[in-house]
Structure 1
């Protein structure tokens, strides 16, 4: 049994998609620890492996992917659990807030019915009348002003923000230890994005839930705080407290992400972009995957893939060039 104070420990996680014709590596040796009440942001461009990392923890890819390494909660190895036990764990101990609430909700069932089903499956509340009351309480808890009406509504009758709140209500209905939020604000306008992030932070503070959030938005990472793991080409290239990583990056890729952000002190047209494009899925070059785009790369960078190592107190990065002062411009 997993205890309520169990952290999530991910060690050397690898994910390779398999088909009859080829094997495609996507996640390459990702490691981090997430304690109860803590936040971890996975930040990076599309295709960097953030969402695959998050979903691999839940083993959502079935036989289409080989997943290696370790994923432990309170010492229980999730990657070796029978699928029946994983089904019980998903939505109970570990819950997912997906990027697209419309695709996550059953369009033919009312919101309340979908909530009460989750409560019944995980043994939280099996009595129908009590489950309905609890469903309305959960909808109210996530800031829905008329929970009875929303519980009786179909997904298409709600706005995008309301659908996302309903999905969050489902995710937290069983008081999970870990909440995985996969780009939860991407499809929403800026005002609603801020409301959803504030809601997740409030629920985290109230319930003590650990949050693993996937995002490509540096602004979201800065607003939500906690710790940041910057991902590139399936690997973590930098990790540390959000404020420190975003104010004093230790990897050229993180620097590039920050330099591309618009700021009041930067004139129009003066923003710098990262030259080139990320490698294609599974098409990682020899050495450091970022070397072909890096203005500081040395010849050795194209041969040797640097590990993630400590570079400052509570900080790690995978770039010996920047952190040894040997940068070439």
Structure 2
């Protein structure tokens, strides 16, 4: 088949982000939080956004779905299956959210209505997107979805209020709502926060199983390097509202090409390192909206040069399917 014909017939990726910017606007202030983020998530692929609190990960995820309303100016391009979301009116977005692109929020307790039973909240989503409007059939589908996410007694849980469930069960219920309409893209924003280690592993395994079964593209936000390593796929490391490194998880987390990524890995507890002897990244991240000229990590970076404070380094190729934004480290690597 000629290459030109293949390119014309290839389906667009589920999620394609180009130069995404998010600026929060108040009466007297404009605060830039996300600064030119670009990445693509293909069908069945996982993309992890990794970084410290305040790096812009969650704002990036929620900006994709335009959940901030008029309080945020969002620029760049967000394409869902080739369709530009930033051009759509709010009624069009409401039809897409939950149906084609869905969110698993960080706090399941806050995401669920405390005054309504879980089954009612599920059937409402099914009806809103035209999946199942007949009451009895919707109820059966709700129980099927709860069983799908590993809830052993779906009928009881469907009849329960959120406060009657454990944290892990609430998170499973939220995931059931998110996948109820078979979305093409699932965004999981710190889905294991506030869960114990055993339940964290179960939730991550559940998301991986659903991804494989439903063929979804998954964008997952996390501050936990261990979660990023366990889930695999691709990793985009964020710092001060920008991607500073991106590539296959196994490569990025075993051989980082940006000092910030290396710092995150060095701060992990590992066998053989005495308690209290862990390395840490010196200093603190810049305040949101007060980013310095040049590389935002320069003040904390052991490789910093005078030139690092003069220009913000762009992402450049540092290997097959990998990019990083540190000319100093990558020049040293090339020389070595």
Give the TM-score normalised by structure 2: 0.95
Q: How far apart are the structure 1 equivalents of 2:13 and 2:239? A: 28
1:221 maps to 228
The Cα shift of 1:270 comes to: 2.1
Deviation at 1:166, TM superposition (A): 0.1
Matches within 5 A, 1:136-285: 136-285=143-292
- After superposition, the Cα gap between the structure-2 partners of 1:126 and 1:194, relative to the gap in structure 1 and judged at 3 Å, is same
Cα offsets for 1:49-101 (capped at 9, x unmatched): 00000000000000000000000123211001111010010000000000000
Shift of 1:232: 0.0
Q: Which residue of 2 aligns with 1:35?
A: 42
Q: For residue 116 of structure 1, give the secondary structure of its aligned residue in structure 2.
A: helix
Partner of 1:79: 86
What secondary structure sits across from 1:325 in the alignment?
A: helix
The answer to whether 1:99 aligns with 2:106 is: yes
Q: Write the distance in 1 (CA, Å) between the matches of 2:278 and 2:287.
A: 25
- CA deviations on 1:294-320 (whole Å, 9 max, x unpaired) are 011000001110001101111100000
Answering whether residue 306 of structure 2 is matched by residue 299 of structure 1, we say yes
Confirm or deny that 1:118 pairs with 2:125. yes
Rounded Cα–Cα distance in structure 2 between residues aligned with 1:109 and 1:43: 34
Q: Distance in 1 between matches of 2:110 and 2:312?
A: 38
Please tell me whether the aligned partners of residues 182 and 214 of structure 2 are also in contact (alpha carbons under 8 angstroms).
yes
8 Å CA contact retained: 2:13, 2:41: no
Contiguous gaps of at least 5 residues in structure 1: none
* Rounded Cα–Cα distance in structure 1 between residues aligned with 2:13 and 2:170: 30
Query: Do the aligned residues in 2 keep the contact of 1:229 with 1:240 (CA within 8 Å)?
Result: yes
Runs of 4+ in 1 over 3 A off after TM superposition: 3-6
Q: Which secondary structure state, in structure 2, belongs to the residue aligned with residue 156 of structure 1? A: helix
Question: The residue matched to 2:277 in structure 1 has which SS?
Answer: coil
Give the structure 2 partner of residue 130 of structure 1. Answer: 137
TM-score, L = length of structure 1: 0.97
Gaps of 5+ in 2: 1-9
Q: Which residue of the partner structure matches residue 5 of structure 2?
A: none
Contact persistence 1:111–1:150 (CA under 8 A): yes
Aligned-residue Cα RMSD (Å) equals 1.3
Taking a change above 3 Å as real, the CA distance of residues 197 and 4 of structure 1, as seen in their structure-2 partners, is farther
- Residues in 2 aligned to 1:74 and 1:194: alpha-carbon distance in whole angstroms: 30
Q: Label 1:282 to 1:137 Cα distance change in 2 as closer, same or farther (>3 A).
A: same
1:88 to 86, 90, 95: 95
The residue aligned with 1:51 is 58
Match of 1:321 in 2: 328
